[in-house]
Amino acid sequence: MKTLYTYIGLFAWLTPLLLVVAIVPGKAQTKATVQGVVTDAAGKPLEFVTILLVKSTDSSLVKGSITTTAGQYEIENVVQGSYLVATSRLGYEKVYSKEFSLHENQLTYTVPALIIREDVKVLAAVEVKATRPFIEQQVDKTVMNVENSLVSAGGNALEVLEKAPGVVVDAQNKRITMKGREGVLIMIDGKPTYLSTTEVMNLLRSTPSNSINSIEIISNPSAKYDAAGNSGIINIRLKRNSSQYGMNGNVALGGGYGRFPKANTGITLTMRQGNLSMMGNYTYDHREGYGAIAIERHFPENPAAALVKQQGYRPNQTKGHTFKLGADYTMGKKNTFGVLLHGIVNHDKADIQNENQVFTNTSVLQSVSKMTNTTDRRMQRIATTINYKHTFDSTGRELTADADYSVVNIRPTDNLITSFFNASGEETAPTLLQRTIPPSYVYIRAAKADYVHPINKQTRLETGWKSSYVTSDNDVRFEQLEESTWQVDPDRTNHFLYKEIIHAAYMNGNITWKKWAVQAGLRGEQTHSIGNSVTLHKVVDRTYLNLFPSAFLTYSIHEKHQIRYSYSRRIDRPNYLNLNPFIYVMDPYAYYQGNPYLNPQYTNALQLAYTWKGATTVSIGYNHTKGVITSVTEQNDETKVTKQTVINLDELTSLDLNLSFPVQITRWWNSHQTINVFRNRYNSHYLGQQLDNGRLSGNFSTNHSFLLPGGFTAELNAWYNAPSAHGLSQMRGFGQVSMGVQKQLWDKKATVRVNVTDLFLTAPVKGVIAYQNMDIRFRSSYESRTVRVNFTYNFGNTTIKAPGNRRSGAEEEQNRVN
């Protein structure tokens, strides 16, 4: 508590400092300021509307801005000339002001109020030559606009996620972290994937980047969201179109090469006729690649074995089919019914080749073991959603309801062949033949309802309910060939059943007046779970009720400056794979085992943020997690075998400072930078010793877009993650630089993109574990440098609106499927 009070005091000390910085007057203007306000048809101010100032002569972009919570905008340092102001906001029409001129010595010009409506109207007289930036900083989240990104074309969702500010993807250790912390809730179109981190990464790896519209990074969600995710929420929004009658579609074709070939193709169709709108898409992805790992395990206290070196190489192949079918039917102006079917079918193959060399103290080779693991993994995920939306009146009062049913079927097979040799290459033991067959089935049923009730223009209430029922069946069979017969190994075979029921309810209140905006909410979640290890006769039955408050306070000093406080309490439940106590053999000297006694972890998060002109944000945050779920290792010096498992460490504290800002370098060169500095500290009693592992770390990302002659555009993206602490590990720094070029053809109906990722081969992950008797050093890499060419062609009416992607009742559970 003393540490918490210290950081609260730091928040209080920084607040007046930010206020002073915010209100210090600037120098006298030598150029004009263009200002105005944007409202909807009812006269309500609209926030976060993109404002584009363009020349009336050639429609070229001069400057941009974003409206405040009061709907106001201001564009400074504008030279004399003739201009137009254009608005842009998703779901609203584009509106253009009348032409106006700025004269010499004119200090300000107020544009007449711009009113935008939801009905789409296209004004052909003016073409604004501007695209949304790759990274947008909004008050409550960071948005990556993937749809038009050149460096992301032809890749997969996991590769795009690597470029997200503050996000680190560790493929070797199957971790996705945000600001150095695990527990990120991954959602697709507002719906959780219901998969463990391992399966989430496999899913994202098989999701083509060409199907993604944007990625939202929400570091401090409100009570409306599931309480899961101590680091926040990453929401991947798939592509959709916007609205008129008729039919449209697009086809895509791409290929690439690194060390191995890649290919992808897909088609999307959208139709809107009367009250019915339908959409469907299908993508096929063929991807070959590799992974490599090098591990050194030192045994200074064991004279018989000073060092074990492991070299691993994993060539792999993925064939993935993804499809989506949806329809919306509108009855009158108040009722909309929708249905959505989403399916993923993957087939992965890999030939894992591991070699372990054992050396004595004098660095003399003592023995060698070679293991080949031929894996075959098939995964099918079918998810159905039925949703309903009722609008009561024009005030915004509405009710939405969703019901979900999902089935995930994972059928992996591992065939292990292990040979043993002495230093001379002679076999010292018979070849060991083993296999693992761990089929897994997960069934998810979820339902939710949300009600929004505006009391007046300044006050709004939100309330909702959600229930989910998840069951999983994982029957792991480990067998060994003995005398031409496969014999079951009872020590490594286990049948695990899991059931979980969660009931949740929440209420949010929003009040705005003058320069203040307040949102406060409370969410309650009751959980009942039963983990049944049938083989081991172990049953873990838990029931617990938790309350999760959240509060947000925003103060707009004036239209340029805004300060925001936020607080939330969150939970992370163990995923189903980690709860299963089965043993997975990685090589003769390493294995993984689940932990059925894992408990949830709880996080309290505080954040103070300052936003300037709706685009530049500085924030400081403090997180404290109790019972932090962490991957750890244990080492047996006598057998030289390392065990990996997951446990609850006592606590993790984190303090972070974030800066995000755009820079327009020239008229044809724009950039956006994100800098995040943080310190994570793990403190716990583990293996009879006090663990105190912390480090000052950070990450940096920069994205640059260029308008080139001849109608070409280009993009360059770079990111770097500094050395950091995680659990028992100290991770080294790593990063990546990528670039791409694009050209539109045939009256902008076709687009060709060429990109290169990881230009300098700087993406490998390195780390060290130095704790108690363990001295482990590791390095992992994958096929990160590739060249890709992608072609897309749009046909039909390009302004048709696809069926809505509303959030379903299946929120958090899919992140935890094994």
Q: What is the pLDDT of residue 542?
A: 94
Q: What is the pLDDT of residue 517?
A: 86
Does residue 394 carry a pLDDT above 80? no
Pairwise CA distance, residues 721 & 177, whole Å: 11
- Strands (DSSP E) contained in 184-258 are 184-188, 191-192, 212-218, 232-238, 246-257
- Do 388 and 416 contact (CB within 8 A), yes or no? no
Does residue 23 carry a pLDDT above 90? no
Within a 13 Å sphere around the CA of 733, how many CA atoms are in the beta-carbon half?
11
Residues shown for the chain: 818
Pairwise CA distance, residues 100 & 55, whole Å: 10
Does residue 9 carry a pLDDT above 60? no
**Pairing label, strands 232-238, 734-745:** unpaired
Residues 6 or more apart in contact with residue 39 via CB below 8 angstroms: 45, 46, 71, 113, 114, 115, 116
Pairwise CA distance, residues 488 & 451, whole Å: 54
Confidence class for position 13, pLDDT limits 50, 70, 90: very low
Q: What is the pLDDT of residue 245?
A: 53
Is 594 strand, coil or helix? coil
Question: What average pLDDT does range 5-29 have in this prediction?
Answer: 38
Confidence class for position 361, pLDDT limits 50, 70, 90: confident
The residues pairing with 495 across neighbouring beta strands, listed in sequence order, are 475
Q: What is the pLDDT of residue 135?
A: 62
Q: What residue type is assigned to position 242 of the chain?
A: S
Of 116, 64, 74, 40, nearest in space to 556 by CA: 74
Q: What is the pLDDT of residue 556?
A: 84
Q: What is the pLDDT of residue 126?
A: 40
Lowest mean pLDDT among 34-48, 193-207, 296-310: 193-207
Other beta carbons within 10 Å of 797: 16
Pairwise CA distance, residues 544 & 68, whole Å: 42
Does residue 749 carry a pLDDT above 80? yes
Pairwise CA distance, residues 298 & 305, whole Å: 8
- What pLDDT digit, counting tens, does each position of 715-737 carry? 999 999 999 998 999 999 999 99
- What pLDDT digit, counting tens, does each position of 774-812 carry? 999 999 998 999 999 999 888 876 544 445 444 444 545
- Strands (DSSP E) contained in 722-797 are 724-726, 729-731, 734-745, 750-756, 765-771, 774-782, 787-796
Question: What average pLDDT does range 60-81 have in this prediction?
Answer: 78
Pairwise CA distance, residues 203 & 349, whole Å: 15
Pairwise CA distance, residues 345 & 376, whole Å: 14
More confident site: 249 or 656: 656
The percent of residues in the chain predicted with pLDDT above 70, rounded, is 81
User: Rounded mean pLDDT of the chain?
Assistant: 82
Is 521 strand, coil or helix? strand
More confident site: 635 or 132: 635
Residues 6 or more apart in contact with residue 107 via CB below 8 angstroms: 29, 32, 33
- What pLDDT digit, counting tens, does each position of 73-105 carry? 888 778 888 888 988 876 677 888 888 888 877
Does residue 711 carry a pLDDT above 50? yes
Q: What residue type is assigned to position 712 of the chain?
A: F
Residues 6 or more apart in contact with residue 587 via CB below 8 angstroms: 310, 312, 354, 356, 369, 371
Q: What letter does residue 154 receive in the DSSP assignment?
A: T
The percent of residues in the chain predicted with pLDDT above 90, rounded, is 40
Does residue 122 carry a pLDDT above 80? no
Q: 593 is written with which tokens? A: 């085992």
**Pairing label, strands 184-188, 232-238:** parallel
- What pLDDT digit, counting tens, does each position of 322-339 carry? 888 989 898 887 899 999
SS3 string, 4-59, reads HHHHHHHHHHHHHHHHHHHHCCCCCCCCEEEEEEEECCCCCECCCCEEEEEECCCC
- Do 118 and 92 contact (CB within 8 A), yes or no? yes
- What pLDDT digit, counting tens, does each position of 657-688 carry? 999 888 889 888 988 888 999 999 999 999 98
Pairwise CA distance, residues 575 & 594, whole Å: 10
CATH numbers and ranges of domains, the chain: 31-129 (2.60.40.1120), 246-491+511-816 (2.40.170.20)
Pairwise CA distance, residues 140 & 43, whole Å: 24
Pairwise CA distance, residues 500 & 469, whole Å: 6
Q: 239 is written with which tokens? A: 């592509």
Is 194 strand, coil or helix? coil
Does residue 120 carry a pLDDT above 70? no
Is 244 strand, coil or helix? coil
Is 159 strand, coil or helix? helix
Per the rule left: phi > 0, alpha: psi between -120 and 50, beta: everything else, 329 is beta
Confidence class for position 471, pLDDT limits 50, 70, 90: very high
Confidence class for position 305, pLDDT limits 50, 70, 90: low
In the chain, count H helices and then E strands: 4, 46
- Do 591 and 476 contact (CB within 8 A), yes or no? no
Determine phi and psi for 391, rounding to 5 degrees: -100, 120
- Do 814 and 338 contact (CB within 8 A), yes or no? no
First to last CA, the chain: 36
Is 110 strand, coil or helix? strand
Pairwise CA distance, residues 336 & 276, whole Å: 10
The residues pairing with 542 across neighbouring beta strands, listed in sequence order, are 529
Q: What is the pLDDT of residue 1?
A: 45
Burial of 122 (0-12, 13-18, 19+ CB in 10 A): exposed
- What pLDDT digit, counting tens, does each position of 583-638 carry? 888 888 889 998 999 999 999 999 998 988 767 889 999 999 999 999 999 998 88
Pairwise CA distance, residues 156 & 261, whole Å: 14
Question: What average pLDDT does range 647-657 have in this prediction?
Answer: 95
The residues pairing with 292 across neighbouring beta strands, listed in sequence order, are 313, 781
Distance of CA 751 to the CA centre of its chain: 27
More confident site: 587 or 284: 284
- What pLDDT digit, counting tens, does each position of 211-253 carry? 677 788 777 677 777 777 666 778 877 765 444 456 778 898 9
More confident site: 18 or 792: 792
Lowest mean pLDDT among 27-31, 38-42, 197-201, 578-582: 27-31
Output the CA angle 718-721-727, nearest 5 degrees. 155
Other beta carbons within 10 Å of 608: 20
Does residue 30 carry a pLDDT above 80? no
Q: What is the pLDDT of residue 70?
A: 77
Does residue 143 carry a pLDDT above 80? no
Pairwise CA distance, residues 466 & 456, whole Å: 27
Of 798, 809, 771, nearest in space to 688 by CA: 771
Q: What is the pLDDT of residue 172?
A: 53
**Pairing label, strands 32-39, 114-115:** parallel
Confidence class for position 376, pLDDT limits 50, 70, 90: very high
DSSP-derived secondary structure for 288-328: EEEEEEEEEEE-TT-TT-SEEEEEEEEEEEEEEEEEEEEEE
Q: What is the pLDDT of residue 301?
A: 66
Determine phi and psi for 199, rounding to 5 degrees: -75, -30
DSSP-derived secondary structure for 113-126: PEE--SS----TT-
Q: What is the pLDDT of residue 152?
A: 58
Confidence class for position 561, pLDDT limits 50, 70, 90: confident
Does residue 124 carry a pLDDT above 60? no
Pairwise CA distance, residues 179 & 700, whole Å: 11
